[in-house]
């Protein structure tokens, strides 16, 4: 918990930045040990907290003396970040992504800097930016597209080539200088950017890119691309013209005829002479209604209405255009030119594209496209009205679906079986584990994949159902291989009234572990919880406790033993 004076100062930074003023005295603010304690509480339970850097320094052994020493070094300008230790982690396409492992002290310094930068920039970041921000995620980005992009004609998918490795250091410091007046703080950020990395015992300088694996890398990336957000807002204001499309003459003509027929029908009803089986007016009304469903109510080619929408998750930018393909091309060209001239970034030509909204595009692991149809929606009869209200389903509405290619790749990489033949296979490396461990491993994989795609309308249909069938068959085949049994016998052994579940004993008590089923998926409100990020419950529960122990200067091991 931060002292009131520190909290007020951080809040004041955000207010000043929102009003276009520069902030200062950031290094002086870093002199408050309480800020460092909060930074440590944010990091200590992370999986990589005890990962060693090049100097074998980790977050273990945190103390107030250690904090005071770092504060003194930063104030005197003697703090120098150590090079990061570089390793490589696999990407989804089979390639590898470089990952840097900073030392413990550097992680802590970066977290404190991140807290300050977050207080300054979060109030001014665009509502259309969703990456690496509290309360925002891939799901909030996709939900905003689904909710606000009705009527889009073209998708412009912009892929920035090697963004995190190509951020220009001088340009980034220039951007930070617009809102930060503290030169010592800017030198601190510059030192993080240019610390370099060590790979295969060889030191390499860094001339571009954010700190490799750094804690403050995400917010620095957002600061850099905030310029793109502001440029896209200007593009949007210039392109958005017109209020609405005019109705088509053919639709108006049919609507007028139907209105006259409806009046005649109501008059017959009032006189008691209306017979729905013989009424020519009703027959003609239904005929005109069927004809009207085939006609657009408003002119889809009206050039006087144009719109531009955009959404950004980190360096993944999707632009939606209501207009012609030339308008979409112009939007793509303007973004390319801005990235090249102002941000010194290139666009990947093979990954960037313009596609019709009906055809759709792949964004954040979902197929995003618009649908069109003539379905009629009946609404409840209003009080005092003599007929039920009806309207045609909205055309051009954005829907999200699970990409078939992604499902097949998931099935293949997890080695569940042959997708084409719909045949499951067992996973031999799991047969030496317990039944409970095998089921937990399978459950975690399928639950995670389904939860991420829960915004898709077909998350429980078609390809997902086929994946579930192969997945469940692989689970049963693995259990059968372990017990030298058959799939049918394992199925019978797990079968319960509520589905498949494993029975086991814990200290004499009978427990059950349910085998995950797609029908168990419950869609949650994405604004109530981060559905694509599992919360770190341990960190939330023990943050206050860890700060108490640090301030009492009590060893955690002795604390546990008391």
* Whether pLDDT at 390 is above 70: no
- Low-confidence winner among 44-53, 375-384, 518-527 (lowest mean pLDDT): 375-384
CB 87 within 8 A of CB 197: no
The contacts of residue 461 (CB under 8 Å, 6+ apart) are none
Alpha helices in 199-272 (DSSP H): 217-239, 249-271
* Whether pLDDT at 163 is above 50: yes
User: What's the rounded mean pLDDT across residues 20-26?
Assistant: 92
The residue whose two tokens read 């200088």 is 177
Query: What are the tokens at 269?
Result: 């009803």
Q: What percent of the chain has pLDDT over 70?
A: 87
pLDDT at residue 375 in the model: 60
Q: Show the CA angle centred on residue 275, arms to residues 271 and 280, nearest 5°.
A: 105
Helix (H, G, I), strand (E, B) or coil at 323: coil
Distance (Å, whole) CA 475 – CA 439: 7
Tell if the pTM clears 0.75, that is, is over it.
yes
pLDDT at residue 535 in the model: 41
pLDDT confidence tier of residue 3, bands split at 50, 70 and 90? confident
pLDDT confidence tier of residue 552, bands split at 50, 70 and 90? low
Residues β-bridged to residue 506: 509
pLDDT confidence tier of residue 555, bands split at 50, 70 and 90? low
Distance (Å, whole) CA 402 – CA 463: 8
Distance (Å, whole) CA 145 – CA 324: 20
- Nearest in space to 157 (alpha carbons), one of 307, 1, 376, 366: 366
- Low-confidence winner among 217-231, 240-254, 260-274, 517-531 (lowest mean pLDDT): 517-531
Distances 127 to 230, 307, 347 between C-alpha atoms, Å: 11, 18, 23
pLDDT confidence tier of residue 339, bands split at 50, 70 and 90? very high
* Whether pLDDT at 557 is above 70: no
Residue 248: how many other CB atoms lie within 10 Å: 16
pLDDT, tens digit (0-9, with 9 covering 90-100), for 445-495: 999 999 999 999 999 998 999 999 999 999 999 999 999 999 999 999 999
Q: What are phi and psi of 379, to 5 degrees?
A: -115, 160
| Residue of higher predicted confidence among 212 and 421 | 421
* Whether pLDDT at 539 is above 50: no
| Residue of higher predicted confidence among 55 and 215 | 215
The residue whose two tokens read 């949650």 is 524
- Low-confidence winner among 46-50, 211-215, 281-285 (lowest mean pLDDT): 46-50
Residues β-bridged to residue 180: 23
Distance (Å, whole) CA 203 – CA 207: 13
pLDDT confidence tier of residue 140, bands split at 50, 70 and 90? very high
Distances 415 to 111, 411, 474 between C-alpha atoms, Å: 39, 6, 8
Q: What are phi and psi of 23, to 5 degrees?
A: -110, 155
| Residue of higher predicted confidence among 530 and 113 | 113
pLDDT at residue 538 in the model: 38
The contacts of residue 335 (CB under 8 Å, 6+ apart) are 156, 158, 228, 231, 232, 235, 317, 319, 347
* Whether pLDDT at 378 is above 60: no
Distance (Å, whole) CA 257 – CA 276: 19
pLDDT at residue 463 in the model: 94
pLDDT at residue 529 in the model: 40
pLDDT at residue 56 in the model: 76
Distance (Å, whole) CA 208 – CA 185: 19
pLDDT, tens digit (0-9, with 9 covering 90-100), for 171-187: 999 999 999 999 999 99
User: What's the rounded mean pLDDT across residues 527-535?
Assistant: 45
pLDDT at residue 473 in the model: 96
- Nearest in space to 407 (alpha carbons), one of 458, 443, 354: 458
């Amino acid at each position: 918990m931060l002292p009131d004076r520190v909290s007020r100062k951080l809040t004041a930074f955000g207010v000043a930045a929102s009003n276009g003023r520069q902030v200062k005295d950031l290094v002086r603010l870093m002199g408050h040990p309480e800020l460092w304690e909060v930074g440590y509480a944010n990091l200590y339970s992370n999986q990589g907290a005890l990962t060693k850097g090049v100097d074998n320094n980790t977050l273990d052994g945190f103390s107030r003396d250690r904090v005071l020493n770092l504060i003194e070094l930063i104030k005197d300008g003697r703090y120098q970040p150590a090079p990061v230790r570089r390793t490589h982690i696999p990407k989804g396409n089979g390639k590898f992504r470089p990952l840097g492992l900073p030392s413990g002290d550097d992680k802590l310094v970066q977290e404190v800097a991140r807290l300050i930068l977050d207080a300054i920039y979060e109030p001014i970041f665009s509502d259309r930016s969703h990456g690496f921000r509290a309360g925002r995620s891939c799901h909030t980005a996709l939900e905003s597209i689904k909710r606000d992009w009705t009527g889009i004609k073209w998708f412009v998918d912009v892929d920035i080539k090697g963004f995190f490795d190509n951020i220009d250091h001088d340009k980034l410091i220039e951007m930070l200088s617009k809102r930060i007046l503290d030169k010592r703080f800017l030198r601190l950020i510059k030192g993080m950017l240019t610390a370099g990395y060590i790979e295969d015992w060889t030191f390499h300088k860094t001339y571009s890119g954010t700190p490799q694996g750094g804690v403050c890398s995400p917010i620095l990336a957002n600061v850099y691309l905030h310029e793109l957000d502001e440029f896209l807002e200007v593009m949007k204001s210039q392109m958005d013209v017109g209020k609405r499309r005019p109705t088509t003459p053919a639709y108006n003509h049919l609507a007028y005829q139907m209105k006259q027929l409806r009046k005649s029908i109501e008059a017959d009803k009032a006189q008691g002479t209306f017979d729905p089986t013989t009424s020519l007016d009703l027959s003609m009304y239904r005929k005109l209604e069927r004809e009207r469903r085939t006609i657009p109510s408003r002119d889809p080619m009206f050039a006087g209405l144009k719109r531009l929408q955009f959404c950004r998750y980190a360096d993944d930018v999707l632009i939606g255009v209501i207009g012609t393909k030339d308008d979409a091309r112009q939007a793509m060209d303007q973004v390319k030119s801005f990235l090249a001239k102002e941000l010194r970034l290139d666009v990947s030509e093979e990954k960037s594209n313009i596609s019709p909204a009906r055809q759709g595009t792949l964004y954040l692991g979902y197929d995003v496209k618009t649908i069109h149809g003539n379905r009629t929606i009946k609404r409840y009869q209003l009080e005092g009205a003599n007929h039920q209200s009806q309207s045609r389903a909205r055309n051009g509405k954005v829907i999200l679906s699970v990409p078939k290619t992604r499902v097949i790749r998931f099935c293949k990489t997890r080695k569940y079986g042959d997708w084409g033949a719909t045949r499951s296979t067992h996973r031999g490396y799991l047969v030496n584990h317990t039944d409970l461990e095998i089921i937990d491993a399978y459950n975690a994989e399928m639950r995670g994949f389904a939860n991420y795609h829960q915004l898709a309308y077909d998350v429980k249909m078609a390809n997902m159902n086929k994946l579930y069938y192969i997945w469940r068959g692989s689970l049963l085949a693995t259990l059968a291989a372990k017990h030298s049994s058959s799939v049918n016998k394992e199925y019978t052994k797990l079968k319960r009234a509520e589905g498949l579940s494993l029975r086991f004993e814990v200290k004499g008590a009978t427990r059950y572990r349910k085998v995950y089923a797609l029908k168990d998926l419950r869609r949650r409100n994405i604004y109530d919880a981060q559905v694509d990020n599992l919360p770190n419950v341990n960190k939330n529960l023990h943050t206050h406790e860890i700060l108490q122990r640090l301030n009492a200067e009590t060893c955690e091991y002795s604390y546990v033993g008391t």
